[in-house]
Amino acid sequence: MSEHIETLTIRRPDDWHVHLRDGAMLGAVADFTARVFARAIVMPNLDPPVTTPEAAAAYRARILDAVPKDSGFTPLMTCYLMEDTDPEVVARGFADGAFAAVKLYPKYATTNAAYGVNDVRKVYPVLDRMQAIGMPLLLHGEVMDADVDIFDREALFVDRVLGRLLADFPALNVVLEHLTSAAAATFVRDHQTGREGRLGATITAHHLHITRNALFEDGFRPHMYCLPLAKREEDKRALRAAATSGESAFFLGTDSAPHAVDAKEADFGCAGVFTAHAALELYARAFAEEEALDRLEAFASLNGPAFYGLPPNEGRVRLVRDDTPISESIDVEGRAPVRPFFAGQPVGWRVETENGDHAQAGRTAHGGEARPSGS
Ligand code: DOR
Ligand code: ZN
């Protein structure tokens, strides 16, 4: 089942959750995001993490240095929440535009989450201040209790932590990031209205395409390892239903998370799937399979800005059917390459941007290496 629409033009989208990293990795991946997306919420889980307005401004400048000057790309920076974060620092960063939001990682939940939050009550003074000034809280929604099955971490977070948080901070704007379970999608749908603050959720491209089976297809597949883990088929179906529903609570956030192949293919391998090279194309593939391409613009370009109180972008991008395979690897200067999602396979679409010169980024006809054009 797949819609036979050959081309689709939508408003230029935004990526409301992305990892751009730093240094050589930033140089290798930033253009993939900037060529398509006008704005991106940039995750702060560097090492050391981004915790001050000054660090966010410096990181923002490095990102702008790494993307083509004509990309029209705006990074929106986030503050990494720690148990001893000072509410004044957060409020100052929001007031002067250095921070767009605060990101809460449960301690040890994922990459560079060692400085994260163990006891949510310890950050209540920060949340109180954020509620007062209208600053959004972005949640990595997993409980980390040792006795909880890793596939149940998200559903139990929603059950044990999120409901309580929303009740204690009725006016706080909250995004539950990278939904992976039917339980979380249902929770967001049921709680998006009825309180003063907004509740939204991002959905990644890869969670619309894989289930946990992908981790073990003909052997262990470290490049399918991300957190939260992909769940069951019924969860994937629920995520597809949410993304294609057109409901304003659900919007695009790739969680594109590049790691060099030697960090993925290792004991203690890193969590993260890299999708920025074909992100909008991967969403288009899922929406076409659901015969919902007419809802892609709401999900990719309208619902996110509405949540963040920003205008939608004026530019347009065009999706065109294209069966060229994704390249096998993305070069990183001086380091091992990154293996892109769908490596060696066609996604079925390519994006044409208004300046038209980035259309083949991340793809080669022969499945060899590719670099983002313009870098
Ligand atoms: O798979 C993931 N990778 N999930 C996260 O939450 C973080 C990310 C990363 O930074 O590598
Ligand atoms: Zn992430």
Q: What confidence tens digit (pLDDT) does each residue in 15-51 have?
A: 999 999 999 999 999 999 999 999 999 999 999 999 9
Average pLDDT, the chain: 94
Report the residue among 17, 26, 108, 111 best suited for mutation to probe ligand 1: largest number of ligand atoms under 8 A from its CB.
Answer: 111
Kindly tell me if the per-residue pLDDT of 370 is higher than 60: no
Separation of CA 6 and ligand 2 centre (Å): 32
Q: Which residues contact 298 (CB under 8 A, 6 or more apart)?
A: 246, 248
Ligand nearest to the CA of 206: 1
pLDDT at 150: 98
- State the ligand closest to the CA atom of 106: 1
Query: What domains appear along the chain, each with residue ranges and CATH number?
Result: 13-315 (3.20.20.140)
Q: Tally Cβ neighbours within 10 Å of residue 57.
A: 16
Spacing, Cα 225 to ligand 1 middle (Å): 9
**Per-residue pLDDT at 196 exceeds 60:** yes
DSSP at 24 = H
pLDDT of the residue at 4: 81
Nearest CA to ligand 1 atom 3: 272
| Cα(43) to centroid(ligand 2), Å | 6
Distance 4 CA to ligand 2 centre (A): 33
Residue with tokens 């679409």: 349
Q: Which of 15, 16, 17, 19 is the best mutation target for the ligand 1 pocket, counting ligand atoms within 8 Å of the beta carbon and taking the most? A: 19
**Is 235 annotated in the active site?**
no
- Angstrom distance (rounded) from CA 90 to CA 306: 23
Is the C-alpha dihedral spanning 270, 284, 210, 158 positive or negative?
A: positive
Strand 15-18, strand 39-42: pairing: parallel
Residues with CB under 6 A from ligand 1: 19, 45, 110-111, 140, 226-227, 255, 257, 270-272
Cβ 76 vs Cβ 41: under 8 Å: yes
Ligand having the closest approach to the CA of 255: 2
* pLDDT confidence of residue 374: 31
167/164 Cα distance (integer angstroms)? 5
Q: What is the 3-state secondary structure (H, E, C) of 88-116?
A: HHHHHHHHCCCCCEEEECECCCCCCCCCC
Centroid of ligand 2 to alpha carbon of 111 (angstroms): 9
Out of 255, 262, 294, 357, pick the active-site residue. Answer: 255
Residue in 110, 261, 268 to alter for ligand 1 test, most ligand atoms within 8 A of Cβ: 110
**Which residues neighbour ligand 2 (ion) by CB within 5 Å?**
255
Output the pLDDT for position 375.
Answer: 28
* Average pLDDT over every residue of 334-362: 84
User: What local confidence, expressed as pLDDT, does residue 354 receive?
Assistant: 85
Mean local confidence (pLDDT), 126-143: 98
pTM over the 0.85 mark: yes
